[in-house]
Amino acid sequence: MSVVIRRAQKSDYREIWEIFSDIVSKGETYAFPTDTGREEAIALWLTAPSKTFVAVLDNKVIGTYYIKPNHPGPGSHICNCGYMVLERTRGKGVASAMCEHSQRQALRMGFKGMQFNLVVSTNSDAIRLWKKLGFDIIGTLPKSFNHRKLGLVDAHVMYKWLEPAGE
Amino acid sequence: MSVVIRRAQKSDYREIWEIFSDIVSKGETYAFPTDTGREEAIALWLTAPSKTFVAVLDNKVIGTYYIKPNHPGPGSHICNCGYMVLERTRGKGVASAMCEHSQRQALRMGFKGMQFNLVVSTNSDAIRLWKKLGFDIIGTLPKSFNHRKLGLVDAHVMYKWLEPAGE
């Protein structure tokens, strides 16, 4: 598979929206309202973040991620990213490729660390992957995510310092 | 001291801005840009949150706090609050009174828990107080806050479930 990761552009919005709405409407992994509409999705995923990327295979958008400061001011050296992969192309390394890309991108943008604020504890594929890519669970927020099928479940805060040691 | 806590109104903005700018410009406790201007401060503290309150003593605003969902959608049952106290009235229980008020307010607004996302590890008065009021440090984010005097310091995620057990 030769996936290309590049900046998102207007012509990608339709495919991004398809991925976003499929994932968000399930209410199992993202703290966005399950009925988020197209315009709001574009605002959240493409306008608010600093940059948004897409993973493209054979001219098809199969994944997307955003990067933005997790907090402003004295917290702005830590970034936050969100990743989404088209359902039928999961388990093929797309999320992994995007996360590695985002870490390089973060350093290039001057960020020193990356934080995921609400990794749903039942999203075991994601947790396994983020751990493999160097993220630590720094804490667990009890019953902080209202899972559409399971009700209130825990969520993790995950964190990775990106700058090489000694710098 | 008989402090009254009530909703903030337009006529409070000047005094809120004085407290906000004094605290935020120091760059020691809040992840807002140290040069945040008045209009942006009002947007952050009064417009974006669900509700903002002031603590008033003898017709003088001596403290303020906001409450808002910490995340949208499936994370929206957990609220986030921020508290600020006028410097010369600190250590007199104003923050404590506001935090207790905010917990009652949170339950009234339908929230089930409260989260502080970035409690600077050097802000020991705040940490002691939040612990006393039932919050747990659920994790520590290394070097996640760029303290104006001390450089990169750790920050804690603090969390309290508000609903009584059994409900």
| Residue A19 Cα distances to A41, A73, B11, angstroms | 11, 32, 46
SS3 B109: coil
**C-beta atoms surrounding B149 within 10 Å:** 9
Whether the CB of B37 is below 8 Å from some CB of chain A: the reply is no
How far apart are the CA of A57 and the nearest CA of chain B, in angstroms? 31
Nearest CA in chain A to B152: A74
CA atoms within 13 A on the CB side of B15: 20
Q: Quick check: A72 and B33 CB within 8 A?
A: yes
Confidence class for position B163, pLDDT limits 50, 70, 90: confident
How far apart are the CA of A52 and the nearest CA of chain B, in angstroms? 20
Measured in whole angstroms, the distance separating CA A58 from the mean position of its chain's CA atoms is 22
On the question of pLDDT at A91 being above 90, the answer is no
Tell me the pTM: 0.95
CA atoms within 13 A on the CB side of A2: 1
Residue A62 token pair: 């199969």
Query: What digits encode the pLDDT tens for the residues A26-35?
Result: 999 999 999 9
How far is it, in rounded angstroms, from Cα B165 to Cα B163? 6
On the question of pLDDT at B102 being above 80, the answer is yes
Nearest CA in chain A to B135: A141
Contacts of residue B142 in chain A, CB cutoff 8 Å? 113, 159, 161
For B166, which DSSP code? T
Contacts of residue A137 in chain B, CB cutoff 8 Å? 139
Q: Are A144 and A154 in contact (CB under 8 A)?
A: yes
How far apart are the CA of A158 and the nearest CA of chain B, in angstroms? 9
On the question of pLDDT at B166 being above 60, the answer is no
For B47, which DSSP code? I
Whether the CB of A71 is below 8 Å from some CB of chain B: the reply is yes
Q: For an interface test with A, which of B71, B79, B111 has the most A Cβ atoms less than 10 Å from its Cβ?
A: B71
Whether the CB of A65 is below 8 Å from some CB of chain B: the reply is no
How far apart are the CA of B10 and the nearest CA of chain A, in angstroms? 25
On the question of pLDDT at A165 being above 80, the answer is no
Strand partners, B6: B54
On the question of pLDDT at A36 being above 80, the answer is yes
Residue A143 token pair: 């019953």
Residue B30 token pair: 């809040």
Nearest CA in chain A to B114: A144
Residue A114 token pair: 């990356």
Q: For an interface test with A, which of B121, B123, B144 has the most A Cβ atoms less than 10 Å from its Cβ?
A: B144
Query: What digits encode the pLDDT tens for the residues B26-83?
Result: 999 999 999 999 999 999 999 999 999 999 999 999 999 999 999 999 999 999 999 9
- Can you give the pLDDT at residue A166? 55
How far is it, in rounded angstroms, from Cα A156 to Cα A140? 4
Whether the CB of A64 is below 8 Å from some CB of chain B: the reply is no
